[in-house]
Chain A
Amino acid sequence: MHVRGYIGIFGALLVLTLVTVGVSYLQLPTVPTIVLGLAIASAKATLVVLFFMHLKTERAMVYWPLALTVFLFAMLFAFTLWTEMDHITL
């Protein structure tokens, strides 16, 4: 990727930061606030990981341990929140 491409990603990250702060001032209900906030953060993280950390052009040997990590990360949340499922109030 050329420098211009990296600068483009940087610009997108700045715009998404402004969007996420702007959305927070709308005082939306809790659930949309959480969903939108995490969705924008995930989009930003994806840009950083794919392009700045070069994951887009990485080898399979990097993808497999990361896939396992994503699974374990999801389980960490699933089991934790499972214990709260009967009385979560948003």
Chain B
Amino acid sequence: MHIPYTTDVRPDTGLTNPKLGIWLFLASEVMLFGSLFSAYALLRSGSVSWPDQSAVLSVPFATLNTVILISSSITMVLAWVGAKSGELPRFRLYMGLTLLLGAAFLAVKAIEYNDKFSHGLLPSTDNFLGLYFTMTGVHAIHVLAGMVVNAYLLGPGSGMFRTDPARFTNRVEIAGIYWHFVDVVWIFLFPVLYLL
């Protein structure tokens, strides 16, 4: 089946279809995370007392994860630059690094979760921990989803680099826009849950 406007710009929108599609999808994602952030704002502002977040959670772990995710954003950009300039090995190197950094983020998150569980700190403990596990859990699922797409582009999907390089580069850019969005969500989760 021929999918129109994957690389050609559609005259009435001025965009390729995947570009418009990913931004509309991200608009819905903004509202998904918006509902969670506003739930946090409502529960915190309405509470009589709120735990000292930085004492309950580990700021060093979260700082490390922030650096990891920001680093994965730059490697994702460099993977796209590699694909765009027709250098497959360069694309592979940076996409591989992006995947590794995504895995490192989830590993640190797993250590954090495990640490909380082992101290009896569960989502049912209080409103803050309920929000913490929900918000970081939904975010971690997004990281995992991005890794699945990135792994496809690095592995079986990379055959398109030879058959249709322009379309492949667009796919990498679209996957990148999603990946950076996941980074942006963490950029807000970090201060809101750990520092404020």
Contacts and interface: CB of A to CB of B under 8 A. Distances in A.
B23 A62 contact: yes
Contacts of B63: 17, 21
B188 A41 contact: yes
A32 B78 CA distance: 37
A53 B78 CA distance: 13
Given A6-B77, A21-B195, A66 B46 contact: no
B146 interface: no
Interface string B62-94: 010011001101101110010000000000000
A88 B45 contact: yes
Nearest to A3: B81
B67 A14 contact: yes
Nearest to B184: A45
Chain B contact residues: helix, strand, loop or mixed: helix
B180 A69 contact: no
Contact of A52 (B24, B59, B66, B176): B176
A25 to B, nearest CB: 9
Contacts of B77: 6, 52
Nearest to A30: B196
Contacts of B195: 20-21, 23-24, 33, 37
Contacts, number: 120
Tell me which of B41, B177, B184 has the highest count of chain A C-beta atoms within 10 A of its own C-beta.
Answer: B184
A9 B46 CA distance: 38
A21 B191 CA distance: 8
Interface in B167-181: 173, 176-177, 180-181
Contact of A17 (B30, B46, B70, B196): B70
B15 interface: yes
Given A54-B177, A59-B14, A65 B27 contact: yes
Given A53-B180, A62-B15, A34 B196 contact: yes
Contacts of A81: 41-42, 45
Given A61-B20, A69-B31, A37 B196 contact: yes
6 contacts: A10-B73, A24-B195, A41-B191, A53-B176, A77-B38, A84-B46
